[in-house]
Structure formats: structure tokens, C-alpha cells
Amino acid sequence: MSRTIRVGSRESKLAVIQSEMVIDAIRAYDSSIDIQLVTMKTTGDKILDRTLDKVGGKGLFVKELDRALLAGEVDLTVHSMKDLPAQLDERLPLIAVSSRETPYDVLVLPEGCTAWDTTKPVGCASARRAVQIKKLYPDIAVKPVRGNLQTRLRKLDNGEYGALILAQAGLHRLGLEERIHHIFTPEEILPSACQGILAVQATKGFDIDILTKFHDADAWDCAMAERAFIRALDGGCSSPVASFAQLVDMNTIKLTGLYVTEDRMHSSVKTMICPRTDSAAYAAELALRMKNEG
């Protein structure tokens, strides 16, 4: 008798594409497994008239998926890892992460435009992006933008914004890379923690072997260091902190962290090199040191 796995996902086109990447990996492991995709609209998808920090933060993108997991309505859930809150429900551990897609932020212009109209606001979905783009371009107006990627692009193309800042990974997965006008380096805009990585959650005891062909140990170690930095600062959706880890070699990680004071008047960026095996502890120590230094 074949086994059935129900995969929970947000219902956006990008979320479905990302969940199908997990499904394909499970099928590559065992083609006899029957896999069902279960999509749902999260609270974060429903509330679009306010920024996330006003309505509860990143947890709004996982609340319904977590509830479905705990209720036994799905067997695992798939997320963009950057959308996961810093603190997770310990009953729902992370069981696998994908290899990292390109992690950078990009500038996107209205369709057909080749020059950035800086008289219109630039649309940002996070405080992290807003703080950094204002440092690069102090005279640019920044305006919040909500909705899935296609909704944001539609608002841009309708003339509401002069440009958007988006994740390159999402555009790539949707086949929309031709919309990219400029790719920001980490020195210009430090990416969100875990940007470009997909995460899979399940209840304790789930058979993780079926994700053998999906899980990436390098991305896992970088993600754990990045999340440790954010968690040490109580970083959430309303917080502009950021962290970005890269493997220097098989035993060493380079981590860059962004700390912004509560009043957002001052910011600092620091980089450290540390052993891969203890990178999460080193990342948390760096975060606290930066906070103490102000």
C-alpha cells in the first residue's frame, strides 16, 4: 500500500512553485509515495492594508500552516525560510532546508522602463530594506508595499511606485528575471536572514529520510547562524536587523550582521569569521556585542 504525504503551502503562485520543489525531491526519493498539495491563505495574505509590524509580524504567514500541521490536516509544510519568525513552535521542528538560491535583493522598474523615476516612491515590504535603501539614496521616498509578488508588480506597473525592492530568488523561481534592473550587493543592501532558502516543517517523529534528496547541509549551517544573530536581537518583521552567512571553506563561516538602533537613527555592520561547528553561538555573541556598542 502506497504512503500518502500531504504538503501544506500558502496558495500564492510562488509558494506553490516552491512546494513543488519539495514534492519533486520526495518523488525522486520514492516514486511510490502519493503526494497531495494542500494550499491555504494565511492571515498575512489576507491583511494587505497594513504593514506586518502593525498586525503581528512574520508569524502571520505561518499561523494557519502551523495549525494545520498540529491538527494532522497536513504532514509537512513549506516556507520561504526568511518568512519564519525567529522563535518557532518547538512542537514543529525544521526538518530540512533547500540549497540556497541567489540571496540578494534587486531593484525592479515598471514594465518597459529603463530609467528609474526617482520622483515616485520606492516600494519596500520590510523595515530592513527601507533603512538600507534610505542610506543609499537619502532623497528617495520609501512607501510600504504588501501582497504577493505578482500583486506588488501590478502596483508598480500601474504607476503607484517608481521602483520596487524584491528578492532575486522569488523572481528567478517565477521566471521573471528580465524584470531586474539592478542587483544590490551585500555591501549595498544586506539580505534578509535565510533569504533564498526554503524550509520544511513537520511534527516531531516525522520520517525525515524522504527529504534526503532535498536537504542541503551547507545552507542549513548558514541559516542557523543567520537566525541565531536575528534571534539574539529579538529581530522580527518590524525590526530592520539582518544577517548573511557564507562558507569560506568546509570548516569556516563568514557572517555579516546589520544592527540598527531602536530609533533607527544609527546602524552598524560587522563581519566575523568563525568555525562552522559553533557558528550559531558566535553569531549570537556578535549580535549582542553590536547591540551593547549601540
User: Could you list the active site residues?
Assistant: 83
Quickly tell me which residue has 502571520 as its cell: 60
37 with 20: CB under 8 angstroms?
yes
90 with 70: CB under 8 angstroms?
no
Q: What is the four-CA torsion angle of 194, 199, 205, 211, rounded to 10 degrees?
A: -120
Which residues have CB under 8 Å from 211's CB, separation 6+? 22, 25, 26, 29, 95, 96, 200
Give me the amino acid identity at 43.
T
Quickly tell me which residue has 549601540 as its cell: 294
Element (H, E) at 273: strand 267-275
Which one, of 232, 231, 257, lies nearest residue 128 by Cα? 257
17-55: buried (b, 16+ CB within 10 Å) or exposed (e) per residue?
ebbeebbebbbeeeeeeebebbebebebbeeeeebbeeb
Rounded Cα–Cα distance for residues 190 and 214 (Å): 26
Which one, of 113, 78, 112, lies nearest residue 96 by Cα? 78
Q: 8: which strand partners?
A: 38, 77
